[in-house]
Structure 1
């Protein structure tokens, strides 16, 4: 393993996103330290009516660097570990809401962001998570049912109220996707998937868009959840 890491560093110049050790994008130690289960992780305060939220861990340390590495730097080798973490959240969601045919619906990215980055990271890891779970005998599929309306701003730097205002009515569920879903999986459980949940505004908007066309959402599964840090009064 050490020789392989040394070769990777020599040829590619890579480093572990977790500990910055030269070699693989995720070294053996950092991979072993990743969460092996998920847990309920609702945002606080939670948007009214949001479905149960599950995450593999907090959005910091290695989990944060994994998400940033794929989304911002297109480190494609991180798709697999991220998909594995998302699959943990899906499993926990299925255990809490009931098993059966399940469709993972990724939160849509803005087309401008996809063009700029050359990658829709949320869709990529959702697709892989579904494939991983199928290999373990579960009836889980991935379906891109949602689209964003024009004019949605980047969420970075917005507080919870600004995020909600930015996202109101911003996600739609085109009829073509509904017809395809009804034909392939008429009685499916839907789980909305995202990489990170912060205020919950994006996930709640995706849930609203699906529910507005009669599709019930059982849960929201994410890789990581942002910790809300309380302010200490001095």
Structure 2
């Protein structure tokens, strides 16, 4: 807690270099901001496209400046970057649930849960923090939105770095479950799974499975859970991973 508090305060009062390119005395320069959230949001399709993976929209490709910004926020506690990352995620959420603007209820941003040991080590939950920033950005633009941490990890998973697609699938299979509160909520909005980065889609596919299971597929209280979509800040640019809508 003490380290988290110091990062928050120091990020406000100390000069910073651009997290994307290192330009002096700016947390995020205009050029890197445009790369992060100034381009077109696109449908992301990993190769292979996993069974059960919902439609995923991404604001940017995960590389160079975007990768540096995400890692600065997640691993080095640059909390001020949650705002531009949230702006990027908000754009992807709008693309993932375009019909919700017509009165289908508020957007319900459901973060993919992080491992508890990772959250403890970092001092914050990066995906949830970005989701909260995205929800605030959506509300400022007139869209009703809320963050609902409906999912939790029910068993430890290994670090995914370096794992191939089959290994990632086996690693996360059955690792998530909806919280008890999820099955008591009324059908009141449009669920969108959110995360900072998609690599193979294994975590998002598992999160979608757990969310759909909370409604039993066609549970009358959760008709929208069968139609869950997903949005991420960035996706790894594997061959054909990003295609225009």
Alignment CA distance shift 1:31-1:153 (3 Å): same
Deviations 1:68-125 (A, max 9, x none): 1111111011100000000010011122677522211000000000000001000001
Aligned to 2:238: 228
Alignment CA distance shift 1:123-1:84 (3 Å): same
- Note if contact 1:105-1:143 (Cα within 8 Å) is conserved in structure 2: yes
Structure 2 unaligned segments of length 5 or more: list them.
1-9, 216-224, 241-245
Between the aligned partners of 2:15 and 2:93, the Cα distance in structure 1 is 34
For residue 195 of structure 1, report the CA deviation from its aligned partner: 0.5
Between the aligned partners of 2:140 and 2:214, the Cα distance in structure 1 is 31
Aligned to 1:213: 214
Q: Which moved more, 1:126-135 or 1:93-102?
A: 93-102
Structure 1 unaligned segments of length 5 or more: list them.
1-7
For residue 229 of structure 1, report the CA deviation from its aligned partner: 4.7
Aligned to 2:60: 57
Aligned to 1:30: 32
For residue 158 of structure 1, report the CA deviation from its aligned partner: 1.2
When normalised by structure 1's length, the TM-score is 0.86
For residue 159 of structure 1, report the CA deviation from its aligned partner: 1.1
Between the aligned partners of 2:68 and 2:234, the Cα distance in structure 1 is 11
Q: Which moved more, 1:60-69 or 1:106-115?
A: 60-69
Give the ranges of 4+ consecutive aligned residues of structure 1 lying more than 6 Å apart after TM superposition: none
| Aligned residue pairs, count | 218
Alignment CA distance shift 1:114-1:58 (3 Å): same
2:17 matches 1:15: yes
Deviations 1:16-62 (A, max 9, x none): 12221111221233224433331111211111131111001110121
Alignment RMSD: 2.1
Equivalent of 1:172, from 173, 177, 181?
A: 177
Name the SS for the 1:108 alignment partner: coil
- Note if contact 2:36-2:85 (Cα within 8 Å) is conserved in structure 1: no
Q: How does 1:144-223 map to 2 (within 5 A)?
A: 144-179=149-184, 181-182=185-186, 186-214=187-215, 215-223=225-233
- Note if contact 1:145-1:178 (Cα within 8 Å) is conserved in structure 2: no
Between the aligned partners of 1:155 and 1:64, the Cα distance in structure 2 is 16
Q: Which moved more, 1:83-92 or 1:31-40?
A: 31-40
Deviations 1:204-223 (A, max 9, x none): 00000011121324311000
Aligned to 1:5: none
Between the aligned partners of 2:32 and 2:126, the Cα distance in structure 1 is 21
Q: How does 1:40-55 map to 2 (within 5 A)?
A: 40-55=43-58
